[in-house]
Structure 1
Amino acid sequence: MIDRQRKLGEFGFTGDDDVVPFEVGALDVRGRMVQLGPLLDQILARHDYPEPVARLLAEAALVAVLLGTSLKFEGKFILQTRTDGPVDMLVADFSTPKSLRAYARFDADQLAAAVEAGEATPEKLLGKGVLALTIDQGADMQRYQGIVELDGVTLEEAAKTYFRQSEQIPTDIRLSVGKLVLPSPGGSREHWRAGGLMAQFLPKAPERLRMPDLHGGDGDPGQPPHEVADNAWRELVALVATVEHNELLDPSVGSERLLYRLFNEHGVRVFEGTHVEDECSCSRTKIRGILEGFSAEEIEESTEDGVIRVNCEFCSKAYEFKPAEFSAEA
């Protein structure tokens, strides 16, 4: 939570679950950083996910928060995976200005087999499929969706591919997820934490976004294909690569301090950001609207012991309806 006793830019002004926008003018870089703490702990504890699943969902939540808080309009940013691995679906749904919800679906038997075989890496758990990143501006506006293939890559790598292919904005992203023992009422215990850093190269001169020639041309043979050749971008990537995973997680470091460590030689500015909250958009009215579209046969099939029960997959809230509410006379 933002500490109003401190000033913007001072260490400790922001805290857990606060997204911090920043700018490094000398490198033509803008970005966002966040450390998720209590919010993430609540989401993961609600479903009691196995640790490998929780780690994947936490990464999905980080990407959704980093991208969703950049929206300048009322709407949603939705990250969803559909794959053939033990964890066959991840959904992280960010609604402006500050609401996050997330859900994972997995096959318990396949997951246990993967763990026993030592194949519980993120790439193996996801398997092959797609990552869909959707921007929803509301009922009267067209959705925008970018699709990235998932085949032996992490969510971090897939997010970079999305920006390179769909947005054509040079973007570097670092994600870190883990458990830390922190003080709690009644004694210290393990808490889930996650940290994410997204930095984008946005020069005013478009020619600075030029890609080097493909292999076989006269470009720099030492530069990876499809990477921007500008020195400022290269320096940004080198600096971001120095970030340790524990730095992204450690609440005693914090977003401002880490950004200062990275970019103090170039001058870094931070801006007041967004405090993200664990909020689900489900409601009795919305679920009733869905059920009203069911046929009489579907209503009958959904009824058990005289009641229609619906549980929200995101927040686990339970709703009950009487079949008579959806009869032709209702």
Structure 2
Amino acid sequence: MADTDTGAGYAALESLAALDDRVVPFTVPDLDVRGRVVRLGSSIDTILARHDYPEPVARVLGEAAALTVLLGTALKFEGRFQLQTKSDGAISMMVVDFNAPDSFRAVAHIDEAKLADAVAAGSLSTGDLLGEGHLAMTVDQGSATTRYQGVVALNRQSLEEAAHQYFRQSEQIPSRIRLGVGSIVGPGGSRHWRAGGLLVQFMPHSVDRLRAADMHPGDAPEGHEILTNTDPDGISDDAWAEARSLVETVEDHELLDPLLESERLLYRLFHERGARVFEPTLVHEACRCSRERVLGMLRGFSGEDRKAMVADDGTLGVTCEFCSRRYVFAATEVEDGLAGE
């Protein structure tokens, strides 16, 4: 997937900020599909600017955030949805947490030497920067329930392709996803990041319409042509073929343009069929860290490890890798209540 910078203008971004950081659910009954459109503005800009990621890394993390928000807003309960990658590429790890119903955070770990090599070689696609490893998607409803996790292999493919693989093997729902990341140049040449995404899923009322492609007929007379279903989702349905083809026409700038509302994009795609949109979900960037959580984490370490963390002034300092907030504790405060260890 090619990322593009949008030149729509910073003034337009400010005036239409109310259209950003929201997810619009929709259905197209005539095609038996449902989906969501996400536009991330100030939320993703805050995350990427806070860490001052190199541009190639910012683009990939922006994609991961858009994908996570698309999937996380589908949760119908209080809980968490997490996307995590671990691989041998220049981006060695990414974590995006969505805390239902409406907040998310994200962070990336970079192998600086590999990133320099990738930049020198011009190998800056998402697949190149992630390399080989795995992508895990985890649904956590809390301590009272068992976590669900789906894992797919990363083999230098895009996040879109990895998500399609996840849905085929874990959810078994024919799905198509488009992701886009770009930026708008503001006053003084400052860059303001944006991200967008579109998810469409085939959900027919009839189970028969999800029937898999016909099996190979086995032995056939020599020279006889065997027709096979080449649908990437393994199903043959005209409605899904139409919906999938329409999604694949969506370009990055349509997902990012602050002058193009999500509803208008859906009209462009499905006006002949009629899309129904529902109340949007507003999302925002927020970290889950707190002084109490960090103190609990420190008390979870062994006494030997805690002693090794004490600075010369008798304090222990921890910086949240997501939001960069710094927490400082007196060693006696951490040890309080652990005298019996």
TM-score by length of 2: 0.89
RMSD: 1.8
Rounded Cα–Cα distance in structure 1 between residues aligned with 2:324 and 2:215: 50
Rounded Cα–Cα distance in structure 2 between residues aligned with 1:312 and 1:200: 36
Gaps in structure 1 of 5+ consecutive residues: 1-11
Counterpart in the other structure of 2:251: 244
Counterpart in the other structure of 2:80: 76
- Paired residue secondary structure (2:324): coil
Q: Per-residue deviation at 1:220? A: 4.4
Q: Does 1:298 align with 2:305?
A: yes
Q: Per-residue deviation at 1:271? A: 0.4
Q: Paired residues, what number?
A: 316
Counterpart in the other structure of 2:315: 307
Rounded Cα–Cα distance in structure 1 between residues aligned with 2:334 and 2:303: 8
Q: Which amino acid letter does the alignment assign opposite residue 148 of structure 2?
A: Y
Q: Does 1:285 align with 2:292?
A: yes
Gaps in structure 2 of 5+ consecutive residues: 1-15, 219-224
Counterpart in the other structure of 1:111: 115
* Aligned pairs (5 A) from 1:1-330: 15-182=19-186, 189-214=190-215, 220-221=227-228, 223-224=230-231, 226-305=233-312, 306-327=314-335, 328-329=338-339
- Paired residue secondary structure (1:223): coil
Q: 1:73 to 1:265 in 2, by over 3 A?
A: same
Q: Per-residue deviation at 1:181? A: 2.7
Confirm or deny: 8 A CA contact 1:75 1:96 kept in the other structure.
yes
Counterpart in the other structure of 1:8: none
Q: Per-residue deviation at 1:192? A: 0.8
**Segment drifting more, 171-180 vs 71-80:** 171-180
- Paired residue secondary structure (2:106): strand
Confirm or deny: 8 A CA contact 1:214 1:225 kept in the other structure.
no
Q: Which amino acid letter does the alignment assign opposite residue 174 of structure 1?
A: R
* 1:105-148 residue CA offsets vs partner (Å, 9 max, x unmatched): 01112101110011122111101100000000001110000000
* 1:231-254 residue CA offsets vs partner (Å, 9 max, x unmatched): 000000111111111111101012
Confirm or deny: 8 A CA contact 1:215 1:225 kept in the other structure.
no
Rounded Cα–Cα distance in structure 2 between residues aligned with 1:308 and 1:219: 69
- Paired residue secondary structure (1:304): coil
TM-score by length of 1: 0.91
- Paired residue secondary structure (2:273): coil
* 1:186-207 residue CA offsets vs partner (Å, 9 max, x unmatched): 5674311111000000001001
Rounded Cα–Cα distance in structure 1 between residues aligned with 2:185 and 2:257: 11
**Residue identity (%):** 54
Q: Which amino acid letter does the alignment assign opposite residue 196 of structure 1?
A: G
**Segment drifting more, 210-219 vs 234-243:** 210-219
Q: Which amino acid letter does the alignment assign opposite residue 302 of structure 2?
A: S
* 1:272-299 residue CA offsets vs partner (Å, 9 max, x unmatched): 1211111101011111111112222111
